[in-house]
Structure 1
Amino acid sequence: MPPAKKRTRSYDPARTRAAVLAQFENVRAAVRTLTPEQLALPTRLGDWTVRDLVAHLALTVGSVGRALERDEPAKPELALLDYASATAAHAGAVAEGARDLAGATPDLDALLTRTAEDLARHLAAAPHTRVLATGAGAMTLTDHLVTRAAELVVHTDDLNAAVPGLDVPHDRQALAACTRLLADTLAAKAPGGSTEVRIPPYAVVQCVQGPRHTRGTPPNVVETDPLTWLRLATGRTTWQDAVAGGTVGASGGRADLGPYLPLMT
């Protein structure tokens, strides 16, 4: 019997919009406090500085308005769960654009303020069913905003890792969207029902081929927290290090997710 077809999770349009706006505001408030020396610090993203990373976030969020100003495609082409695999092809151009904007923008607070205002203005007038032409492919507005929430959450964690003492908060709804998107991406990449992955309080998915669990305690269980999960899913930490460090619990012969990670870089 073939495995059951996985259904794409639905996201509430209003909550998703609010999550993107809230998380971007968290970033903007934190960046306003950074000194030139802190903006020049290295990050865990290759040769990017904190300034480059902040510029990238402005471009990431600004992409919504730019896409809304283009002609609307006839229909969506990119499924939400294919987003993670579609990003790698554009990594070079994304990095170049971030560095160029960072070098040309001395006032990052003004840049982020303009970006936030433009986003709010565009979202106020756009229906959630609007199809956008994005760099990765045509997507609905809500799906694209889910990816913006994920990018903001992942890079907020990068900011906190780069600047000692910085603790930019994660909006709960944005963190939930990021966690669920990456968990569902794993389930699509490694379809099956032998392993249960738990990321409380936001997501539970079953994945990996093998005997399907139906009742009682699953024989193969992985459990971790949302921030550890997003670091695993994006290659910020390795499966081996997370298990060894105790931030991941894994039991059962099919509970090794290492071969399927990272999902997005």
Structure 2
Amino acid sequence: MPQLPPKPASSLGLLLVLAALPLPAAPWPEPTAACRPWTRWWWLGSAVRKEHLTRELETFRAAGIGGVEITAIYGVRGQEKRHIDYLSDRWLEMLRHTCDEAKRLGLEVDLPPGSGWRCGGAHVPKSESACFFGVREENKTLSLAFAQGRERVKRPGPGGAGLTIDIYDAAATQRYFSHFNQRLAGVLPSRSIRAQFHDSFEYGSDWSRQLADAFRRQHDYAVTDHLATLEKTRRRQPLGETERRVAYDYRRTLEEMYLANFMGTWNRLSHQAGMLTRNQGHGSPANVLD
């Protein structure tokens, strides 16, 4: 009987052998700054010094922090002589040092476009400040009244106090952020700040000089024909079916004005200046956070 040739090795067996062999460990990629945890960095009264800023940044880097979000806020009592006014030449000198040192250490820097909460300051004129409406009754006739100049920046740092802007007004928003960006551009190299951070809504305004016209364009009727409903909405009183529809249209108009005139304008100007935008949507009209 002729002898059969030996069977070839099983390809399956070969694969099993290869699978059992240890593979060389792939090098773990070095995490970027965006992959590391970040921290908010409170500048209380902006009472900072260059040597302390360097020390803190080196401490952050050694702890694995990837970046900082600087928030200039009110100062500590008894330290007033060390306070530095927000956006002053001295303050910008401290910011420049911070950005230079952050770059040296591989850290990134974000910065809110204002001191305290929220966008505003001494340079905001009353005509561009937050607006509030009220309804007056005289001789059984209702009329609309609005007021500006009563809402101020909450908990500002030195040099940051003043009126908050009308966040439904594109022109007011444009002037505010143009001023902020120009102050930074005069001192900082391009892309020193990674992103501007708008830290929560926290505006109480419920009207704008442009709202009535925007409402008519969007809904094809006049909100000023429903002043009683507006007042009940402002007071959070129970509403009937038609009143609820008017209140919805009013709130929807505020939402769309906020998104287009504030968020859209801010985002465009920030990108033109080489910065990203970050927004905390909590508290805004129609709850943009959702």
TM-score norm. by structure 2 comes to 0.27
Q: Which has the larger radius of gyration?
A: 2
TM-score norm. by structure 1 comes to 0.29
More helix per residue: 1 or 2?
Answer: 1
More strand per residue: 1 or 2?
Answer: 2
